[in-house]
Chain A
Amino acid sequence: MNELTGLTASELVRLIKGKRASCVEVAQATLDWIAKTDKSFHSFLSVAENEVREQARRVDQSVARNEDPGMLAGVPIAIKDNMLVKGWPTTCSSKILSQYTATYDATVVSHLRSEGAILLGRTNMDEFAMGSSTENSALGPTRNPWNAECIPGGSSGGSAAAVAARMATLAIGSDTGGSIRQPASLCGVLGMKPTYGRVSRFGLVAFASSLDQIGPFARSAEDCALLLKVLSGHDPKDSTSMNVDVPDFTAGLQGDIQGLRIGLPKECFSDGLHSEVKSALEAACKELERLGAKLIEISLPHSSFALAVYYILAPCEASSNLARFDGVRYGLRSAEAGTLVEMYERSRDEGFGPEVKRRIMLGTYALSSGYYDAYYTKAQKVRTLIKQDFAKAFENVDAILTPTAPTPAFKIGEKTDDPLQMYLSDVFTIPCNLAGLPGVSIPCGFSSGKLPIGLQLLGRPFEESVLLKIAHHYLTAAPWHKAAPPFCAEAN
């Protein structure tokens, strides 16, 4: 590992703007490290080598001319393969989109370009972001940089692994029920799902439109704040992006957390919780108390119903969103079909993998005549109760702390035969999406098997700053985020 690839984005930007490192040098070090190591992990589906060098040269020229090269000048960033980058394939790790090339940039990608970030390549994911292990990729699984026999989490497993393995300084992912936070936790990095409406979804391939949100992966709270600032903002092209002020998240890291009230939902700390996850969280709580935070036990009485609500609402929205893949305008068209309907049916059967079909079936069933009220309306009503639980809790606390994932990373293949067991991986992350709140996962320790453990902080809508401030203070006192996977040292 080159020392440049181990730096944070904030450190890199200082070096590049101060002309103490060239952007081309950083980019080349990153490309070399990817070439050397990604064959073991399969984080990337493709790396845009020539474009990377070209982008890096442009940033160097701009620095040389003393222009402002942008907030992310020269920072290598990986893009989950469900966000459009003009001229790149966008496949959502699905066979049905294997031949698709993006014709425009997602809004987040335009923001990254204008701030001087270096777009490295596309990262692996569960097909259409449906999964918790990246094993549902039609292009093969990604492996966890801390232990290649384990999954990296999902669905944004490629992005999480790339950042953990120092192959990317930053990455972006999407989070519908935990797809940023859960892999961040399992790979020992930070991952944030911003408040619903904070970041434009224009150019993100839709999975469940009332839940999806794009967010950052990073190796420090400063970097998370920096990237969130770049991604955020109202976009006329996404009518659900909110026209609210975007604070300076970096400035928000300062000040202390003295007297800040952090709620611990008793439902999340039951006896059933994995013992090593529990002890890591208990130690983190002690540290936060030492830093001046006040810990308060709270209750989210409907949280145990969140998983059931999610597995109605998300598949319903997905079955509708994925109706567009019909073999007409883009994507795979079956060669086997005689009639138009056969063309639809066979293209979709050949193009979608098992988990995507399962969710389309589940959603179509729940929305079908006779079941709509029993499932869809019922789930929407319980969604209201879950949202109300949070509103009530936030009258007395400033943030809520829970585990991110119920266990450290599990073995590849361990849960692929039992969809319900796999779904339970997201039990702590789902309520946040249903309520539209911001949530961040930060590293807080390791299991006896040397696998990362993460904790999750949830906040009031549009109060990402509070979460980032807590994360920053905690990690300054307990710098778990600085640990690199052992292979990094061995590979030198």
Chain B
Amino acid sequence: MPITKKDVEHVAKLARLALSEEEKDTFTRQLEKILTHIDQLNKLDTQGVEPTAHPLDVKNVWREDVCIPWEKADEILEGAPEREERYFKVKKILE
């Protein structure tokens, strides 16, 4: 399936990446080449084959719902680009 620059722009928007024009051109070319390689999977008949999401045959892992005190909020907030008191600070969300 050919990839167009328009596809790349759409995907970049979904991925929240502000790509430059040069990056858009490069990725259009490179994704096309990689996906052509991947298209060989269509040679295989996989009708009736169950998909594997995970290598281990584990289902839900249960544990008791217990509360463990955790007092490290300040350490975590130290890593934030912008904070105010005990909050992460972001740009205005509502117009």
Taking beta carbons and an 8 Å cutoff, which residues of A are in contact with B?
99-101, 103, 196-197, 210-211, 236, 239-240, 242, 302, 305, 307-309, 311-312, 319, 323, 326-333, 337-346, 348-349, 352, 354, 357-358, 360-362, 364-365, 368, 375, 377-385, 387, 419-420, 423, 434-436
Q: Are B38 and A329 in contact (CB under 8 A)?
A: no
Q: Which of A196, A345, A362, A381 is in CB contact (< 8 Å) with B16?
A: A345
A329-B8 in contact given A364-B15, A383-B52, A420-B37 (Cβ < 8 Å): no
Complex contact A357–B80 (CB within 8 A): no
Give, as a whole number of angstroms, the nearest-CB distance from A60 to chain B: 31
C-alpha gap A339/B8 in the complex (Å): 22
Known contacts A309-B41, A312-B38, A349-B17; is-contact A382 B46 (Cβ 8 Å): yes
Return chain A residues, CB-CB under 8 Å to B53. Answer: 210, 380
Rank and list the top 6 A-B pairs by shortest CB-CB distance, nearest first: A436-B55, A380-B51, A333-B81, A345-B18, A381-B46, A330-B79
On whether the beta carbons of A357 and B23 are closer than 8 Å, the reply is yes
Residues of chain A within 8 A of B54, CB atoms compared: 210, 240
Min C-beta distance of B52 to chain A, whole Å: 4
Decide if B34 touches A384 in the complex (CB within 8 Å): no
Within 8 A of A (CB), among B15-35: 15-20, 23, 26-27, 30-31, 33-35
One of A242, A332, A419 near B34 (C-beta < 8 A): A419
Q: A332-B81, A379-B41 are in contact. Are A197 and B14 (CB under 8 A)?
A: no
When C-beta atoms are compared, the residue in chain B nearest to A349 turns out to be B18
Chain A neighbourhood of B63, CB < 8 A: 236
Tell me if B91 counts as interface (CB < 8 A to partner A): yes
Is the beta-carbon distance between B11 and A368 smaller than 8 angstroms? yes
| Bound Cα distance A210, B88 (Å) | 30
What residues of A have a CB within 8 angstroms of the CB of B27 in the complex? 357-358, 361
Q: List 16 A-B contacts (CB under 8 A).
A: A99-B79, A101-B78, A103-B76, A239-B58, A328-B88, A337-B91, A340-B90, A345-B16, A352-B17, A361-B12, A361-B27, A368-B10, A379-B38, A380-B51, A382-B41, A436-B56
Assess the A340–B44 pair: CB atoms within 8 A.
no
For A348, list chain B residues within 8 Å (CB). Answer: 15-18
| Min CB–CB distance B10 → chain A (angstroms) | 8
* Given A103-B75, A236-B63, A384-B50, also A346-B19 (CB < 8 A): no
**A196:B31 contact, CB within 8 angstroms:** no
Complex-state Cα separation, A297 to B49, whole angstroms: 27
CB-based nearest A residue for B23: A357
Q: Is B92 in the interface zone, CB < 8 Å from A?
A: yes
CA distance A476 to B51 in the complex (A): 42
Q: How far is the CB of A423 from chain B (nearest CB, A)?
A: 8
Is residue B72 contacting chain A, with contact meaning CB distance below 8 A? Answer: yes
Tell me whether B79 and A103 are in contact (CB under 8 A): yes
B67 close to A (CB within 8 Å): no
Chain A: minimal CB distance from B24 (Å): 10
Nearest-neighbor residue (CB-CB) of A352 within chain B = B17
CA separation between A79 and B18, bound complex, in Å? Answer: 33
Size of B's binding interface in residues, CB under 8 A:
52
Q: Is the CB of B46 within 8 A of A378?
A: yes
Q: How far is the CB of B55 from chain A (nearest CB, A)?
A: 2
B-side contacts of A435, CB under 8 Å: 55
B43: shortest Cβ distance to chain A, in Å? 8
| Known pairs A99-B79, A197-B58, A364-B14 / 12 extra A-B pairs, C-beta < 8 Å | A101-B79, A210-B53, A312-B38, A341-B16, A348-B17, A361-B11, A365-B31, A377-B51, A383-B52, A384-B50, A384-B52, A385-B46
Residues of chain A lying within 8 A (CB to CB) of residue B58: 197, 239-240, 242
Of the candidates B30, B55, B79, the one having the most CB atoms from chain A within 10 angstroms of its own CB is B55
* B17 neighbours in A (Cβ, 8 Å): 345, 348-349, 352, 357, 360-361
**CB of B65 closer than 8 Å to a CB of A:** no
> Are the C-beta atoms of A381 and B49 separated by less than 8 Å?
yes
Q: A365-B11, A381-B46 are in contact. Are A333 and B82 (CB under 8 A)?
A: yes
Q: A309 contacts which chain B residues (CB < 8 A)? A: 41
Closest residue on chain B to residue A339 by CB atoms: B91
Determine the chain A residues whose CB is within 8 A of the CB of B23 once the complex forms: 354, 357
Cα(A236)–Cα(B68), bound, Å: 13
Say which residue of B34, B44, B46, B55 sits within 8 Å of A420 (CB atoms).
B34
Least CB separation from B61: chain A residue: A239
Find the B residue at minimum CB distance from A317: B53
A319 and B34 contacting across the interface, CB-CB below 8 Å? no
Chain A minimum-CB-distance residue to B74: A103
Q: Are A308 and B46 in contact (CB under 8 A)?
A: no
Whether B56 pairs with A196 at a CB distance below 8 angstroms is: yes
Q: Closest approach, in angstroms, between the C-beta of B9 and any C-beta of chain A?
A: 11
Residues in B with CB closer than 8 Å to A236 are 63
Shortest beta-carbon distance, B8 to chain A, in Å? 7
Asked whether, in the complex, the Cβ of A103 is within 8 Å of the Cβ of B34, the reply is no
B8 neighbours in A (Cβ, 8 Å): 361
Inter-chain CA distance A378–B41, complex, in Å, is 8
Q: Which residues of A contact B37 (CB under 8 A)?
A: 307-308, 311, 420
Q: CA of A375 to CA of B56 in the docked complex: distance in angstroms?
A: 22
Given contacts A343-B91, A345-B17, A360-B17, contact A378 B56 (CB under 8 A): no
Whole-angstrom distance between the alpha carbons of A71 and B34 in the complex? Answer: 46
CB closest residue in chain B, given A304:
B40
Chain B residues, CB < 8 A from A364:
11, 14-15
Q: How far is the CA of A197 from the CA of B55 in the complex (A)?
A: 9
